[in-house]
Structure 1
Amino acid sequence: FFKRAAIATLIGGIAAGIGIKAFAQGGGCGWHRGGFAAGPLDPAQVDEHVDRMLKHLYVEIDVTEEQKQKLAPIVKQAAKDLLPLRERIREARGKALELLTQDSVDRTAIEALRAEHLQLAEQASRRVAQSLADAAEVLTPAQRKELAARVEKYRRGWGHG
């Protein structure tokens, strides 16, 4: 479980550039001022953010050139796939505010919005899980252990432990 959590945190951290971590935890990494549904993100900025995060990862867990060639497409495609979900969550936030400021409370509309939000969360979770498995297959057991140790160290620094 711990290895999976470390890989999940890695992918979550990388995807944080597009807000998935903010979606799950209410904060963000890199774009934390506005959270998950802040203004639109430029895909080029997201790509730059992912590149920076990958460079740090490569050094921290001693990734080979072959692993770099495999990891980068996994992470970049996940970020690309998650970006539209971020926009849909942003739109849902606007709908929620609109519903809650109406003269009368429309419980049916609120419930429909809640269900939509859960569907989006499920899609994001499924995509992240796929990326986790793909990335885990690229890393060696020793690298996954090193990553887990680093994640735990940073996690404590973030006030989670």
Structure 2
Amino acid sequence: MTYGDEEAFRAWCATTEPVTQSGLANLHCLPPLLRAIQWGLHAHAQSAQHSEWTTNGIRNLVRHCWRGGITSLMDLHDGECKDLTRKHMDSEVRKIIREIINGLRCVYYSPSDTRDAGFLETDHLGRRFKNSQSHFDTTTVPQRWLRDLLWGDGAAAPPRQP
């Protein structure tokens, strides 16, 4: 390939979306923390209970992150981006983000961090209740002392024996 202006060519490369190919989602050139999408695809495929993700939905997620300059899926989950996410993203993309972030919570939060963040993550405890997620939001309890008591009781529950 030849070009007359290397700087203009590199600028074009940085702003041009990848060519779409049927059945493929291009994750190349995503920031490292957005590569969690790749882990999410793997975890999704391994899960016995999961929703259906289309290739187009995954492409839309990548495109949304690329166009918005998003560097981490947690940016889409944080309060700052919730309004943007609701307005400019279809429901399938929101579902994909939610499922990947639910799977990554054990990586992003230590067990003690979950108390301050206002949730209990039972996967940290080596247990999962049948037909439920491992994430239990405790922020709906308005009294902090009661929320901490609830978290402590849930975190102290012994793991299930096989």
TM-score past 0.5 threshold: no
Structure with the larger RCO, 1 or 2 (CA within 8 Å, 6+ apart): 1
Q: Name the structure where helix makes up a greater proportion of residues.
A: 1
